[in-house]
């Protein structure tokens, strides 16, 4: 007897979209069949008539339970929301897997005065999430500053442990990795089958524009897009792509913001490089003009939101496949710390957004732009799973995959209000946003964790996931 059968919904599989039945035994999908083909004596039958059944969302870019720089908040010891709150909000938004970050970014570590082994740092981070996460979770490992040879030497061991990916910044001392050091990191990650998640901005441009605007008295926060600008993205993306070509490493560009970034990725992919890009869902809605509204910097995530032409380029690239994934760059605080800084150097990054990605993306891409349902699954789940080493365990409705599912009511019209959200925060940039379609049920490994607005899962449900990147994802642009 099956533990769970889902009947009557429009099921989105890698092969098709149609009315299918999904059979679940334990934590796995064991059967996908035509109506009436699965046993009727299941432990539970969910009637999904009128609903879309898609793989659980994968959030590939989150910053959970970490210190916020005092320069952004005006006070010490401010943290982004903890795993329990972030994963609770994610679950209500149809997300079943989070990919956060591990890494030692303490002042001592960045100055070279101390260094913890990579696997020790990874285990410390896992402990923060264990028994405190409603969803499954994994980590990119952040490598920052001037990279010590011992750190490069630990990359192979970390990949064998199941880490899968490493994150670097090309901007902002002291976390910026100098190009020579980055060369060694790229080469070692390529050698052992990992992928690089890259925050790419040109540091010289950012520093020059910061000084220029301060000198001219134009350093107000609403001018962030002049600092973290289109030229900075163009130069940084192309330099990273060239270095990746020399070393053979696969690259996942986080938070692509500009048409120039889209063009650089498109060019690299046309030449056969394994280069992928993500767009944040707030970049699909807002432009830099919104910074000038009262409290407008609440929408800000680094790098800066840019112009209407850039927004349209991102949406077009999401539709046609030049960009691979949607994400949030989850970084939730309360409104006070978020809006404390009002200059180009002090505006706090991030926003309360992990719950809203799937309904906002469904509205912007499917309801408004007629994106196919299979493509929607790609950008919210499957592509992240493939690029970051979780497929087909995650990101697919097919026998053998984890029974991670999200049921969306495509007819449900819902205006987002703060009272409907479940994060530890007191503001939302999505207040008043009208959704067409909304998640109504989330299932993690066969267990219903959110059911029609009620949390029925446990913060002990989430597990850490080992990852291994498939060779085909690193050999060429495979999605």
Domains of the chain, by residue range, sit at 57-397
Q: Cα 40 from chain centroid? A: 38
Is pLDDT above 80 for 434?
yes
Mean pLDDT over 68-79 rounds to 95
The label of the residue with tokens 């085909």 reads: 472
Q: How far lies 189's CA from each of 148, 159, 184, 193, 213, in Å?
A: 15, 8, 9, 6, 38
Q: What's the pLDDT tens digit per position in 208-227? A: 999 999 999 999 999 999 99
Mean pLDDT over 245-263 rounds to 98
Mean pLDDT over 168-193 rounds to 97
Angle formed by the axes of helices 259-270 and 308-320, nearest 10°: 30
Mean pLDDT over 267-283 rounds to 98
By C-alpha distance, which of 128, 122, 124, 126 is closest to 155?
A: 122
For the chain, what percent of residues have pLDDT higher than 90?
96
Confidence at residue 112, expressed as pLDDT on a 0 to 100 scale:
74
Query: Cis (ω within 30 of 0) for the bond into 283?
Result: no
Confidence at residue 105, expressed as pLDDT on a 0 to 100 scale:
86
The pTM assigned to this predicted structure is 0.97
> Residue 344's pLDDT band (boundaries 50, 70, 90)?
very high
Is pLDDT above 80 for 157?
yes
Mean pLDDT over 98-119 rounds to 87
> Residue 373's pLDDT band (boundaries 50, 70, 90)?
very high
Mean pLDDT over 275-298 rounds to 98
The label of the residue with tokens 């050091």 reads: 181
Mean pLDDT over 49-71 rounds to 98
Mean pLDDT over 128-132 rounds to 97
Confidence at residue 217, expressed as pLDDT on a 0 to 100 scale:
98
Confidence at residue 113, expressed as pLDDT on a 0 to 100 scale:
73
Confidence at residue 103, expressed as pLDDT on a 0 to 100 scale:
96
Confidence at residue 369, expressed as pLDDT on a 0 to 100 scale:
98
Q: What's the pLDDT tens digit per position in 4-47? A: 999 999 999 999 999 999 999 999 999 999 999 998 889 999 99
Q: How far lies 18's CA from each of 49, 298, 393, 423, in Å?
A: 12, 40, 22, 34
Q: How far lies 258's CA from each of 126, 280, 306, in Å?
A: 34, 12, 7
Is pLDDT above 90 for 397?
yes
Q: Which residues contact 415 (CB under 8 A, 6 or more apart)?
A: 432, 433, 434, 435
Q: How far lies 75's CA from each of 71, 224, 308, 423, 424, in Å?
A: 8, 22, 34, 22, 18
CA geometry: angle 105, 168, 350, nearest 5 deg:
75
Confidence at residue 452, expressed as pLDDT on a 0 to 100 scale:
96
- At the top level of CATH, which class does the domain 57-397 belong to? alpha beta
Is pLDDT above 90 for 110?
no
> Residue 51's pLDDT band (boundaries 50, 70, 90)?
very high
Confidence at residue 114, expressed as pLDDT on a 0 to 100 scale:
77
By C-alpha distance, which of 50, 64, 68, 67 is closest to 8?
A: 50
Confidence at residue 249, expressed as pLDDT on a 0 to 100 scale:
98
3-state helix, strand, coil in the chain (%, to 5): 35, 25, 40
Mean pLDDT over 68-85 rounds to 96
Mean pLDDT of the chain: 97
Residue 47's SS3 state is strand
Is pLDDT above 80 for 111?
no
Confidence at residue 40, expressed as pLDDT on a 0 to 100 scale:
81
> Residue 108's pLDDT band (boundaries 50, 70, 90)?
confident
Is pLDDT above 80 for 153?
yes
């Amino acid at each position: 007897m099956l533990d769970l059968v889902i009947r009557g919904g429009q099921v989105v599989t890698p092969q098709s979209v149609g009315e299918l039945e999904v059979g679940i035994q334990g934590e796995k999908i064991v059967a996908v069949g035509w109506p009436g083909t699965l046993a009727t004596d299941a432990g539970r039958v969910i009637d999904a008539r009128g609903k879309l059944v898609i793989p659980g969302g994968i959030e590939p870019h989150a910053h959970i339970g970490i210190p916020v720089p005092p320069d952004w908040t005006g006070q010490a010891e401010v943290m982004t929301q903890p795993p329990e709150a972030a994963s609770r909000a994610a679950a209500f938004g149809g997300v079943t897997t989070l990919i956060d970050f591990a890494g030692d970014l303490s002042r001592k570590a960045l100055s070279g005065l101390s260094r913890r082994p990579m696997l020790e740092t990874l285990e410390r981070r896992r402990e923060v999430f264990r028994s405190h996460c409603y969803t499954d979770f994994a980590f990119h490992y952040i490598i920052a500053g001037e990279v010590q040879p011992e750190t490069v030497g630990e990359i192979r061991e970390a990949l064998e442990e199941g880490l899968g990916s490493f994150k670097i910044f090309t901007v902002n001392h002291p976390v910026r990795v100098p190009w020579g050091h980055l060369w060694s990191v790229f080469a070692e990650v390529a050698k052992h089958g990992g992928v690089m998640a890259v925050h790419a901005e040109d540091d010289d441009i950012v520093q020059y524009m910061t000084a220029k605007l301060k000198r001219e008295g134009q350093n107000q926060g609403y001018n962030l897009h002049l600092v973290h600008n289109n030229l900075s993205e163009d130069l940084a993306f192309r330099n990273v792509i060239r270095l990746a070509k020399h070393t053979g490493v696969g690259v996942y560009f986080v938070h692509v913001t500009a048409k120039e970034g889209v063009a650089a990725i498109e060019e690299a992919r046309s030449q056969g490089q394994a280069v992928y890009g993500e767009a944040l869902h707030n970049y699909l809605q807002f432009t830099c003009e919104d910074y000038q509204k009262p409290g407008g910097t609440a929408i800000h995530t680094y790098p800066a939101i840019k112009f209407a032409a850039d927004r349209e380029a991102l949406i077009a690239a999401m539709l046609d496949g030049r960009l691979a994934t949607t994400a949030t760059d989850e970084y939730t605080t309360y409104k006070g710390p978020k809006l404390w800084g009002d200059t180009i150097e002090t505006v706090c990054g991030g926003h309360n957004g992990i719950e809203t990605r799937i309904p906002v993306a469904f509205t912007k891409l499917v309801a408004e732009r007629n994106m196919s349902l299979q493509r929607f699954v790609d950008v919210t789940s499957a592509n992240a799973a493939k690029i970051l080493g979780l497929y087909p365990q995650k990101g697919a409705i097919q026998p053998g995959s984890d029974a991670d599912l999200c049921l969306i009511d495509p007819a449900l019209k819902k205006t987002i209000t703060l009272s409907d959200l479940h994060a530890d925060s007191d503001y939302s940039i999505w207040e008043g946003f009208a959704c067409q379609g909304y998640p109504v049920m989330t299932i993690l490994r066969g267990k219903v964790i959110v059911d029609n607005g009620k949390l029925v899962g446990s913060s002990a449900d989430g597990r850490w996931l080992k990852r291994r990147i498939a060779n085909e994802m690193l050999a060429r642009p495979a999605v």
